[in-house]
Structure 1
Amino acid sequence: MAAPASACRCRLSRTGGAPAEHRSGIEGMAQRVAEIQAAFEENAELVAGAAEAARAQRAQTEGLNREVGVFRLD
């Protein structure tokens, strides 16, 4: 898993001697990594929600199958 954004900021504080152009580039990359991390976390939450919905739907389907299973067509 990627390092948390706080770890990126920690590493950035050690770039004090780098030229401004490099610092700016490093800070930009750190921001992009933080954005990717946030998107990853949001996606994980969406996947967990979808899995829960699928479990609920399966349980409902099984219940409906039991209820309808008592009827017979002749």
Structure 2
Amino acid sequence: MGKGHGKAKAAKKVAKPKAKCCVSKDRCSRCPIRMLKEGTLPLGYTVKKRKLVKVKKLKKKQPLAA
């Protein structure tokens, strides 16, 4: 039997974005700004001031007492 028969194929590997945009005219394949625009940026990340940053988790609001 060959390798991997009967098993699901591995998920497509996504390139990890750079920590900071290099501001090149033609965006590289790992540019965080380009990845944000295309929607390929990993979950939990965003871009602020050309830098890759983690998104903070939102806290649940407690209901107001009447």
The alignment's TM-score, normalised by the length of structure 2, stands at 0.25
Higher strand share: 2
Query: Which has the higher Rg, Structure 1 or Structure 2?
Result: 1
If asked which structure has higher relative contact order (CA below 8 Å, sep 6+), I would say: 1
